[in-house]
Amino acid sequence: MPEILVVDDEKEIADLVELYLKNEGYTVCKCTDGTQALAYIKEKEPDIAVLDVMLPDISGFDLCRKIREAHTYPVIMLTARVEDMDKITGLTIGADDYVTKPFNPLELVARVKAQLRRYTRYNTEAREEKSEIDFSGLVINKDTHACTLYDQPVDLTPIEFSLLWILCENRGKVLSSEELFETVWKEKYLESNNTVMVHIRRLREKLHEPARHPKFIKTVWGVGYKIEG
């Protein structure tokens, strides 16, 4: 189910939002300050974020800016302030919607659903159309199964190509070994399975990645792998 990041320093409001969203079957990660939310944003990618503007440390506007540096998932701003300039600021920096406190929790849930529907539909269409990914000198083409790094060909096996494509397609998002294995190999993953780790190591070698500080494929310890560029 979709995972929703809720950031609000008012515990009662955060708890209420969490309750209504969980009743709809969503997974909720709740943060009570900007620092905690910022750490979450750097490590994970939710399906949508609900951000309170007025936080005790980092403002919701700054969190939205940080999200937009690397991610496109929807952001709904939540605030007690009703000035038009606040709404304009939020929408200008990349927020998708704006809800003013006090609000009806059912209305917020409806807006979350609407944003998720739009984002999911857009991404599905984009994935269907995309046949080539090009960033930071790495080019991978799904139609020709060709891969180049700084205009030099990289010889990949079909499995390595599929693994790299999935990581590139989900750039910035952490994918677990289980997700990668079951998507690429189409078999049930077992905890003792080191297949993904071995293939990641081979991919890094072919991409001339330094062992300690790889440029593209990063390990998020205890979670999985993500690709950056």
Which sequence spans correspond to the domains of the chain? 3-127, 130-227
Q: Is the pLDDT of residue 228 over 80?
A: no
Residue 166 confidence class, pLDDT cut points 50, 70, 90? very high
Helix or strand run (H / E) with residue 128: helix 105-129
Q: Which residues, in sequence order, are CB contacts of 110 under 8 Å at separation 6+?
A: none
Across the range 150-175, mean pLDDT stands at 92
Across the range 142-152, mean pLDDT stands at 91
- pLDDT of 186 reads 86
CATH 2.120.10.30 fits 130-227, yes or no: no
CATH number, domain 3-127 = 3.40.50.2300
Q: pTM for the full model?
A: 0.56
Q: Is the pLDDT of residue 161 over 90?
A: yes
Residue 82 confidence class, pLDDT cut points 50, 70, 90? low
- pLDDT of 128 reads 55
Segment among 23-37, 38-52, 65-79, 209-223 with least mean pLDDT: 209-223
- pLDDT of 70 reads 84
Residue 229 confidence class, pLDDT cut points 50, 70, 90? low
Q: Is the pLDDT of residue 182 over 80?
A: yes
Across the range 146-170, mean pLDDT stands at 93
- pLDDT of 84 reads 61
For strands 27-31 and 48-52, give the pairing: unpaired
Q: Which residues, in sequence order, are CB contacts of 89 under 8 Å at separation 6+?
A: 61
